[in-house]
Amino acid sequence: MKKVFKVLGVIFLFLIISIAGLGVYVKTALPNVGPTPEMKVELTPERIKRGEYLANSVMVCMDCHSTRNWAEFSGPIMPGTLGKGGDEFNQKMGFPGRYFASNITPAGIGNWTDGEIFRAITAGVKKDNQPIFPVMPHANYGQLDEEDIKAIIAYLRSLPAIENVVSQSESDFPMNFIINTIPVKANLQKRPLSTDAVQYGKYLVTAAACYDCHTQFDNGEFVEGMGFGGGRVFELPGGQLSTSNITPDNKTGIGLWSKEQFINRFKTYVDSIAAHQKVGPSDFNTVMPWTMFSHMKDEDLAAIYTYLRTVKPINNPIVKFKPRS
């Protein structure tokens, strides 16, 4: 019997040492996405204009990296806060820790090289080699065109500097270990020609991370087979929001929508009155940044519609909002 306990003790000790070694490896050797690229982005007017469009109307970087006014529908950006950071994602919202959007004005990343910004956007690793929690969809951005990422960098360099010290993000256990394994090397792709509506639409959907919000999410993973089927839950002050089904299902999705109806759904919020609808603390609201997406070009929205028509239809009735009792 003593022999058995001795063997079990050795096995247990081996397991403890192995787990500790793995933990040290994860914390010290990861993330590993390769060296910071050497690059200098030329700040041309064309690049800055393209970056402004992407950051505000497609990738909507400014959605999280600014202050949103939740007293109005869809939380439009408050003037004077563009890029200042500080938006918090915490346990009350279902996140495994407290994560803060960085200050991406020159006051926040002015001492970063273009390559360090490029790596952060496309691979999810900061200047200090710390991983970025994928509330910023860096895996998506790592599939975009290098020139589009450079346009974003050029635009960020052009922003007015806003002094705003942002708190450090912190992960709960075991995410404080897992997060180091998430960043991956970028797999950059050329932007498809706009004449190829399906592939161009897919590219824009990747850039806008539509899948991430419009797919059910449970226990830290997207639910298999439910891509774009809606039903991802977001906790808002007034209640529980479930995202829409944007598959071409005729009964519960957008299968019966025309291209014009799809575009007009976004363009509704271009109007200044629609873009600033007051809402009460218990009224229906949404995390969908309609006022930002409303400025997307018609041809880009049309391409997104065309691509979404090709995804698998999913019958998934959605209760969009459950008010708090």
On whether the CB atoms of residues 266 and 60 are closer than 8 A, the answer is no
Which of the four pLDDT bands, split at 50, 70 and 90, describes residue 224?
very high
Residues 100-148: tens digit of each pLDDT: 999 999 999 999 999 999 999 999 999 999 999 999 999 999 999 999 9
The domain segmentation of the chain, as residue ranges, is 41-191, 192-325
* 25 or 248, which is more confident: 248
Q: What are phi and psi of 174, to 5 degrees?
A: -95, 5
Alpha-carbon torsion (194, 198, 203, 208), positive or negative: positive
Q: What are phi and psi of 314, to 5 degrees?
A: -130, 125
Q: Which two tokens stand for residue 275?
A: 């873009």
Provide mean pLDDT across the span 273-288: 88
Q: Which two tokens stand for residue 257?
A: 């929508």
On whether the CB atoms of residues 86 and 78 are closer than 8 A, the answer is no
d(CA 229, CA 255): 12
Residues 254-279: tens digit of each pLDDT: 999 999 999 999 999 998 777 789 99
